[in-house]
Structure 1
Amino acid sequence: MSFSHIFTIVVPVFLVIALGYGAGRRMSFGGGGADALRVLTMEFALPASLFLGIANTPRHILLSQGPLVGMLALGLLGLFGLILLGLRLFGRLPLPRASILALASVQPQYAFMGVSILGNLFGEAEAAIPIAIAGILVNVILDPLVLILLNLGHPPAAEATASASAPSRVLVSAGGRPAAAEEERDGDTGAAQTATKPIPTWVKVVQPLRKPFAWAPLLGLIIALAGVRPPEMIESSLTLVGQAASGVALLSVGVTLARVGMPQLSPGSIAIALTSVVVLPLSTYAIGLVLTGHEVAAQTALILAFPVSPVPMMLASQHVKSEEHRIASSVIISIVLAFASLPLIINLTN
């Protein structure tokens, strides 16, 4: 595949994000419109698309994905642990700050951008498998683990109060959305209740698993492993809903960026962005070539090569307010960097 062909696949994705950014700056999605866009993306379109992609995959293909599961676990969970350890030992950062910065460094927008780019490169059915595996690892293991670490760290009372009294400005995520982001709907009363009556840790861990983006791929996996297909009427209905996934998801990313404001070009935000779009995919690609071979290494690298997910930004707004703008800035910087790095990595792994 030529570099020019790769570029023609990648560029439209960034143009749609830019369109969403412009719409967000003009407040075209004000008055609850941005929230509706998020709900359509994360609770209907993307879950339907991923469910069908997995459910219609032959069982023997899914059973052969062990190496891919291992490499994605190494990239998402292993490197998260390594970065967390480094920030704690060498950076001397408190556990909440280290946890949220490590999460921002490894969690990519594999769902929003991956459905469009990987679908055009390899076909929607084949692209759905690594996206769904990454979704299961992130939504079932990584994000709940970070929630536990954030609660174990017991952030200072002043920071916790600021977090409770200032609802998150960001409503859209990529690659899964924690339930904490929904607190904005409750207004000041809900925030006050949260401040006086903390939500138990186990509730915060279970809540993300109740979202369609978390359980839909798991349900599709169960159906595929059972060797059955969804009823034709159900499949046709979900196909209509899933067709909205790519465009609406990318618009959501742009609207989210419009709410962040001017990015902070600090060494920390730049380091997170570079780790996400360059260091993480290239290191896992090199390791994968040694452990598994080119095909699995390339699939892993492409899933991890997407920009920083807004999910850590939302968690920071609720638990580590001091890191919210740094992580939000890294999301914007990583998207700008990915415009150049993503085609190069696709060409390298092709």
Structure 2
Amino acid sequence: MSFSHIFTIVVPVFVIILVGYGTGRLRLFDASGTQALRDLTMQLALPASLLLGIWKTPRHTLVEKLPLAGLLALGFLVVYAVLFVVLRHAARRPLKRAALLALACVQPQYAFMGTSVLGGLFGAEQAAVPIAVAGILVNVVLDPAVLVVLGLPDRTASRAGARTAAATAAPRPALVGAGGGTAVSVAPVDPAPAVPGPHRPSALRTVLHQLREPFVWGPLLGLVLSVAGVGVPSIAGTSLTLLSGASSSAALLYVGLSVSRVGRPRLYPRVWVVSLISVVVLPLLLYYVGKALTSSESAAQAALILAFPVSPVPLMFASKYGDKSDEETIGSAVVVSLVLSFLTLPLMIDLVG
């Protein structure tokens, strides 16, 4: 595939993202408008696109995609576990920070940018399968697991808090004068009020909540209908095609809007590390491992799914569960990885053919 053809696919994607960024900087969309655009993408347009794409896919083609599912599971789940262990125990990062940074490294914007880029490369129906498989792995397995980890108490922080509470609750000496002399007595201190621990989400409840999302059950429904051999009625096909037509433009506009709200990125070393792992190291690793274990086609599709920049989802998690430093680091990585991907994504497409 020539570079001119690659750029005719990639450049328009970044032009629409830039339009979204400009509208965000000009404040043409407020926070509620940005959220509405995201809901349009994730609740309606993209689920309709994936449902229709998988529904049209023959049963034997889905069976042939099992190696691709295995590669994506390796890239999302196994690599996340390795990075989390390294950050937690080798780098000695706090529990929540390790969970958030590892997620930022492995969760790309495949849902927002994938339909445009992969659809231009492989066709809409062929692109629907890897995007749907990635969506099921991330939304049903990875993100719920991360949410459960984020609900766990950090033992290091708990021990520090216990020491502080013990020091606060320790009895204080008081000087009491008695007949010209001074005696030391201990004045009792009321114990510190108990602070409730952090809410720990139930793993099952989190998974069930994710399964209610159209982005998850839409592809699953398409899979069931395809395996059952149910054909696509013409009216349903036309309606889903019209609805899915909004997925690419709405998703790319949302990416630009979300980046515009991050602000000026901080170019800390950790931001570069997260960004380079996301758009360079992990896609290359998965591509060469995939070629050794499966076919070149499966390796190429898996590598391109992971070659997109850092997803806004880890940033949402950081704003809720992390501290200001986590939010700043991941938000900066979203911006930096997006800028880097303007160069790395065409190079990755050229590499995988």
TM-score greater than 0.5 by the shorter chain = yes
Contact kept, 8 Å, 2:266 with 2:328, in 1: the verdict is yes
Q: Give 1:101's aligned amino acid.
A: L
Q: Which residue of 1 aligns with 2:261?
A: 259
The equivalent residue for 1:226 is 228
Would the aligned equivalents of 2:279 and 2:340 in 1 still touch at CA under 8 Å? Answer: yes
Deviation track 1:163-216 (CA, whole Å, cap 9, x = no partner) reads xxxxxxxxxxxxxxxxxxxxxxxxxxxxxxxx9987656434432221111111
Q: Distance in 1 between matches of 2:121 and 2:212?
A: 31
Residue 230 of structure 1, CA deviation: 3.5
Write the distance in 1 (CA, Å) between the matches of 2:198 and 2:328.
Answer: 26
Partner of 1:91: 91
Kindly provide the CA deviation profile for residues 285-318 of structure 1, in whole angstroms up to 9, marking residues without a partner as x: 1111111131111111111100000100001111
Aligned-residue CA RMSD in angstroms?
2.1
* 8 Å CA contact retained: 1:151, 1:201: no
SS at match of 2:110: coil
Aligned with residue 333 of structure 1, among 317, 331, 336:
336
Q: Tell me, in whole angstroms, the C-alpha distance in 1 between the residues paired with 2:346 and 2:310.
A: 16
1:243-282 map, 5 Å: 243-282=245-284
Secondary structure of the residue aligned to 1:260 is coil
Q: Which residue of 2 aligns with 1:60?
A: 60
State the TM-score, normalized to the length of structure 1: 0.86
CA distance in 2, matches of 1:198, 1:8: 47
User: Does the 8 Å contact 1:277/1:337 carry over to 2?
Assistant: yes
Aligned to 2:352: 349
Q: 1:317/1:232 Cα in 2 relative to 1: closer, same or farther (>3 Å)?
A: same
| AA in 2 matched with 1:73 | A
Residue type of the alignment partner of 2:243: V
Structure 1 equivalent of residue 211 of structure 2: 209
Deviations 1:135-174 (A, max 9, x none): 1110110001101111124577xxxxxxxxxxxxxxxxxx
Cα shift readout 1:93-118 (whole Å, capped 9, x = no counterpart): 12211111101000111111110011
Q: 1:72, 1:134 within 8 Å by CA — same for their partners in 2?
A: yes
Structure 1 distance, partners of 2:239, 2:341, is 34
Alignment check: 8 A CA contact 2:19 2:253 kept: yes
Which blocks of at least 5 consecutive residues in structure 1 are unaligned?
157-194
The share of aligned pairs that are identical, in percent, is 55
Q: Partner of 2:75 in structure 1?
A: 75
Do the aligned residues in 2 keep the contact of 1:274 with 1:334 (CA within 8 Å)?
yes
Contact preservation (8 Å) 2:151, 2:200: no
1:203-245 deviations in whole A, cap 9, x for unaligned?
A: 3443222111111111111111111124322221111110010
Task: Please state whether the residue corresponding to 1:37 is helix, strand or coil.
Answer: helix
Q: In structure 2, what is the Cα distance between the partners aligned to 1:197 and 1:148?
A: 10
Q: Provide the rounded CA distance (Å) in 2 between the counterparts of 1:116 and 1:288.
A: 23
SS in structure 2 at match of 1:152: coil
Shift in alpha-carbon separation, 1:226–1:266, aligned structure 2, 3 A:
same
C-alpha separation in 2, matches of 1:204 and 1:126:
30
Question: Where do 5+ consecutive residues of structure 2 fail to align?
Answer: 159-196
Matched pairs, number: 316
- Given the superposition, is the C-alpha separation of residues 197 and 59 from structure 1 closer, same or farther in structure 2, using an over 3 Å criterion? closer
C-alpha distance in 1, partners of 2:21/2:313? Answer: 18
Name the SS of the counterpart of 2:151 in structure 1.
helix
Quote the offset at 1:81 in angstroms.
Answer: 0.9
Cα distance change of structure 1 residues 235 and 198 upon mapping to structure 2, 3 Å threshold: same
1:28/1:295 Cα in 2 relative to 1: closer, same or farther (>3 Å)?
same
The answer for the alignment partner of 1:289 in structure 2 is: 291
Instruction: For 2:135 and 2:219, locate their aligned partners in 1 and report how far apart those are by CA, in whole Å.
Output: 8
**1:31 Cα deviation from its structure 2 partner:** 6.1
| 2:300 corresponding residue in structure 1 | 298
Q: 1:197 to 1:144 in 2, by over 3 A?
A: closer
